[in-house]
Amino acid sequence: MSKLKIGIMGASGRMGRMLIEAAMTHPKTELGGAYVRSISSLIGVDAGEFIGIDKSGITLSTLDAAGLGAMIDFSLPEALDDVLDQCVTHKIPLVMGVTGLSDDQEAKLKHAAKHIAIIYAGNYSTGVNLSLNLLATTARVLGLDADVEIIEHHHKHKIDAPSGTALMMARAVAEARGQTLNNTAVYGREGAAKRQAGDIGFHAVRGGEIVGEHTVEFIMDGEIIEITHKAQSRATFATGAVRAALWAADQPAGLYDMQDVLGLK
């Protein structure tokens, strides 16, 4: 059985390097392409040698998705139009790990999902996606009797806040309580206004080299429930993304997430 050829968009970044390794080492996949910006000085460098493992025969290059079995994109929102155009043109499933997309970009993603399978998740960790189920169950049981606060920690280089994972967790809580996140989210606090019933608070901490830590607190009179996930290596996200790519390769056009991939829905 032939291996699935996976292309990695944003190959020179931290996650890109992990994704290259995951695609090269998984028994059912192989690296089909490793893509960087046109101004990158790394163009022409062997992807395997770039990350310090065996030579891959695939050099870092500008985007060309022809011949791939799946694409994984953990780059930046600015690349979305080109990635969607190539994936739709060549009928290539897409695993989208870029966070901080605008409403317009999310609309483009949904439109493209009419033509190809797209996995769109703020986090590809198995543990995080299991925690979403725990959060939804807790929120359904406690309802508005619990005040919900989300505290997330990431490295100082992270651009978007709150994180995509924090937003996923908040949506799981809001939907389980019959709310919409747009009407309940409070991002940090200042001033003299008191907390409103049903608010979901976000607090983003940035510093050092923290991979990613998320805690959701359900605060009640007399007790607090905390559900926490800590990522110790970016490799767990890369492994999950490759798993998603393998799953997406067998799916019809549509917009999916990691809950679909893991069979948790």
Q: Each residue of 130-152: pLDDT tens digit?
A: 999 999 999 999 999 999 999 99
What average pLDDT is seen over the chain? 95
Residues 224 and 134 in one domain: yes
Query: Quick one: pLDDT band at residue 172, thresholds 50, 70, 90?
Result: very high
**Neighbouring-strand partners of residue 202:** 150, 187
Q: What is the pLDDT of residue 99?
A: 84
Active site residue 154: yes
**Do 49 and 38 touch, CB atoms closer than 8 A?**
no
Ligand-binding site membership of 14 (annotated) = yes
- Residue 221 CB partners (closer than 8 Å, separation 6+): none
Taking residue 152's Cβ as centre, other Cβ atoms within 10 Å add up to 24
| Confidence check: pLDDT of 218 > 90 | yes
Identify the pLDDT of residue 25.
95
Confidence band, pLDDT 50/70/90 cuts, at residue 234: confident
Q: Do residue 179 and residue 254 come from a single domain?
A: no
CB 206 within 8 A of CB 158: yes
How many domains, in total, are found in the chain? Answer: 2
Q: Residue 218 is part of which domain span?
A: 126-231
> Are 44 and 10 part of one and the same domain?
yes
Please write the tens of the pLDDT for every residue from 53-94: 889 999 999 999 999 999 999 999 999 999 999 999 999 999
- pLDDT at residue 100, rounded to an integer: 84
For residue 200, how far is the Cα from the chain centroid? 21
Q: Is 206 helix (H, G, I), strand (E, B) or coil?
A: strand
What residues does 71 pair with on adjacent strands? 7, 94
Catalytic annotation, pick one of 5, 154, 214, 229: 154
Give whole-number Cα distances, 196 to 183, 185, 191, 199, in Å: 11, 11, 14, 6
For residue 233, what pLDDT is reported?
87
At 264 the pLDDT is: 85
| Domain at 29, CATH number | 3.40.50.720
What average pLDDT score do residues 200-222 get? 97
User: Is position 99 annotated in a ligand binding site?
Assistant: yes
Q: How does pLDDT run across 26-42, given as a tens digit for each residue?
A: 999 999 999 999 999 99
The contacts found for 53-57 with CB under 8 angstroms, 24 or more apart, are 53/21, 53/24, 54/24, 56/20, 56/24, 56/31
The answer on whether 15 is annotated among ligand-binding residues is yes
Mean pLDDT over 198-222 rounds to: 96
- Do 31 and 107 belong together in one domain? yes
Radius of gyration for the alpha carbons in the chain, expressed in angstroms and rounded:
19
125 or 173: which leads in pLDDT: 173
Q: How far apart are CA 239 and CA 245, in angstroms?
A: 10
Q: Where residue 210 sits, what CATH number does that domain have?
A: 3.30.360.10
Residues 130, 171, single domain; the answer is yes
Same domain, 199 and 246: no
Say whether 165 counts as a known binding-site residue: yes
**265, pLDDT greater than 80:** no
Peptide bond into 93 cis (omega under 30): no
Are 225 and 102 contained in the same domain?
no
Q: How far apart are CA 246 and CA 72, in angstroms?
A: 11
DSSP 8-class letter at 78: G
- The answer to whether the annotation marks 121 as part of a ligand binding site is yes
- Mean pLDDT on 247-251: 97
Is 12 marked as a binding-site residue? yes
Candidates 3, 108, 158, 203; catalytic one? 158
Task: Please tell me whether 140 is known to bind a ligand.
Answer: no
Distance (Å, whole) CA 224 – CA 170: 17
The reply to whether 177 and 103 lie within a common domain is no
Does the annotation list 110 as a binding residue?
A: no
Burial class (CB in 10 A: 0-12, 13-18, 19+), 191: exposed
Share of the chain above pLDDT 90, in %: 89
Are both 214 and 91 inside the same structural domain? no
Retrieve residue 119's tokens. Answer: 């996995």
Query: Is the pLDDT assigned to residue 1 strictly greater than 80?
Result: no
Residues 77 and 149 placed together within one structural domain of the fold: no
pLDDT at 123: 85
Whole-number Cα distances in Å, 60 to 11, 28, 39, 52, 56: 7, 22, 12, 14, 11
Q: Specify the DSSP element, H or E, that contains 149.
A: strand 147-154
158 tagged catalytic: yes
Residue 11 is assigned to a ligand binding site: yes
Within this chain, do residues 197 and 102 fall inside the same structural domain, yes or no?
Answer: no
Region 204-232: what's the mean pLDDT? 96
Based on the domain organization, do 20 and 68 belong to the same domain?
A: yes
